[in-house]
Structure 1
Amino acid sequence: METSHRTQSPAPARAALLVLADGRFPAGGHAHSGGAEAAVKAGRIHDAAGLAGFCRGRLHTTGLTAAALAAAAALGLDPLALDEAADARTPSSALRTTGRKLGRQLMRAARATWPSSELDALAAALPKGAHQPVVLGLAARAAGLGPLDAAHCAVYETVSGPATAAVRLLGLDPFEATAVLARLAPDMDQVAERACTAARQGIDALPAASAPLLDITAEQHAAWPVRLFAS
């Protein structure tokens, strides 16, 4: 079924979104905190309120950018050009490395789950890994999902990773962490819609929102001799 012009997928394919967004999907995300580990050490996250603020800021900056890239890939825009756009929007060398590592891991899982010539072609063109949001968008496309689905998956990953990490790092009550995610749901919907709208306007219109503090702490975190999470 052609997916390149859909805003969202028809009902029969929607269950695939649950598989793709499931934290147990073997794409390596569980090993990354999305910057939460560095924020905890710096004292910027120490309770549920701090986690909520961190996640909201991440969602409206790097989350928006990732969601737009994923939506654009799901629409069928050139994945190699999108990968270059992702590189340009990731000033931190550590985060570029992380993005490609996660993309490589997601690629393996996606190709095994939803075989696709487009995924095969991107894997062949970038054997060291494409940026994760680009792979995510192509995986969504291969699964019969649309750009809005891909954007929703990207924004959810943006906040669910730090929330899960905070439970491990702080011993935060899992119920509180889940409540943070639930309360962010309207923001997630808004960001996904904005990302999808931008993707429809082409690569040059994709947002380039960033969070400089996340870039700085990512470089610092990468140099830590001992850490619980890879990023």
Structure 2
Amino acid sequence: MPGTRSGLAVLALADSRFPNGGHVHSGGVEEAAARGLITDVDHLREFLFGRLRSAGLAAAVFAAAAAHAATGGHADWLALDAELDARTPSPAQREASRAQGRGLLRAGKAAWQTRALSDLVSATGRPHHPLMLGVLIAASGAGAREAALVAGYHSVSGPSSAAVRLLGLDPFAVNAVLIELTDDLDDIADTASASAHLPPADLPAPGSPALDLLAEAHDHHHREEVRLFAS
């Protein structure tokens, strides 16, 4: 477990109020709601479970790997960035990840200054969000498992908040759904932290073709009409 100082930093990075721009991304919920795929809390529960076990796991794996690399001194940031790119086939999702990474960089630089952060930005230019998150978690003194937990939590907390805003769902019921995912989030954090030491090419990351299609459809519609969320 992280100490008090690092624990506070981890909580800050997990907080939706941390100014990293995540509030403008719905994680596919806006497009799914527009298509009638999410209309109530039960639909949202199924969506969040699937998202956590696919895109959430991928983000957790790479956040954990970045935290491990940041503390090991032998980070191949370009390879990590390229491998996450390869596991994100949707151009819209890649752009959303880099946009959120840029937002997290601006906020993170105000709180942490580390060699790993400078090296990551120098190597990649616009780092993916999970890599930025892992580096900042490591800078706070926490480790790979905490990075995985925060990344996994982000993958469902943002979309759940978006569902409340888009559909007017009961926020108490929606937050209860998040709590139901506790064991799944713990399982994902265990999986991600156990693989954090692997070479970038060997990192596990499940595909999520439905989310890819929703992201591409949302990007197309976002260019034609005003949407509440950027993705």
TM range, smaller chain: over 0.9
Tell me the TM-score normalised to structure 2 length.
0.93
Do structure 1's residue 87 and structure 2's residue 85 form an aligned pair?
A: yes
1:14-72 per-residue CA deviation (whole Å, 9 max, x = no partner) reads 12110110000000000000001011111111111111100000101111111000000
Among all aligned residue pairs of Structure 1 and Structure 2, give the percentage whose two residues are the same amino acid: 48
After TM superposition, the structure 1 = structure 2 runs for residues 96-175 of structure 1, keeping only pairs within 5 Å, are: 96-127=94-125, 129-175=126-172
Structure 2 unaligned spans of 5+: 70-74
Do structure 1's residue 229 and structure 2's residue 229 form an aligned pair?
A: yes
| Letter aligned with residue 83 of structure 1 | D
Residue 180 of structure 1 aligns to a residue whose secondary structure is helix
Cα separation, partners in 2 of 1:165 and 1:92, compared to 1, 3 Å = same
Do structure 1's residue 36 and structure 2's residue 24 form an aligned pair?
A: no
The answer as to whether partners of 2:90 and 2:216 remain within 8 angstroms in 1 is yes
In the TM superposition, residue 201 of structure 1 has moved relative to its aligned partner by 2.9
The answer as to whether partners of 1:31 and 1:230 remain within 8 angstroms in 2 is yes
| Letter aligned with residue 135 of structure 2 | L
Quick check: 154-163 or 217-226, which moved more?
217-226
Structure 2: how far apart are the matches of 1:197 and 1:33?
A: 29
The answer as to whether partners of 2:81 and 2:124 remain within 8 angstroms in 1 is no
The corresponding residue for 1:5 is none
1:69-123 per-residue CA deviation (whole Å, 9 max, x = no partner) reads 0000000142221111110000001111111111111111111111112112222
After TM superposition, the structure 1 = structure 2 runs for residues 178-217 of structure 1, keeping only pairs within 5 Å, are: 178-217=175-214
| Letter aligned with residue 195 of structure 1 | A
Q: CA RMSD in A?
A: 1.2
| Letter aligned with residue 2 of structure 2 | S
In the TM superposition, residue 140 of structure 1 has moved relative to its aligned partner by 0.6
Structure 1 unaligned spans of 5+: 1-7
The corresponding residue for 2:13 is 20
Tell me the TM-score normalised to structure 1 length.
0.93
The answer as to whether partners of 1:16 and 1:143 remain within 8 angstroms in 2 is yes
The answer as to whether partners of 1:199 and 1:205 remain within 8 angstroms in 2 is no
Structure 2: how far apart are the matches of 1:106 and 1:11?
A: 22
In the TM superposition, residue 208 of structure 1 has moved relative to its aligned partner by 2.1
Residue 226 of structure 1 aligns to a residue whose secondary structure is coil
Number of residue pairs the alignment of both structures matches = 223
Residue 204 of structure 1 aligns to a residue whose secondary structure is helix
The corresponding residue for 1:67 is 60
Structure 2: how far apart are the matches of 1:16 and 1:196?
A: 19
The answer as to whether partners of 1:111 and 1:120 remain within 8 angstroms in 2 is no
Cα separation, partners in 2 of 1:11 and 1:205, compared to 1, 3 Å = farther
In the TM superposition, residue 202 of structure 1 has moved relative to its aligned partner by 3.0
Quick check: 208-217 or 51-60, which moved more?
208-217
Do structure 1's residue 9 and structure 2's residue 2 form an aligned pair?
A: yes
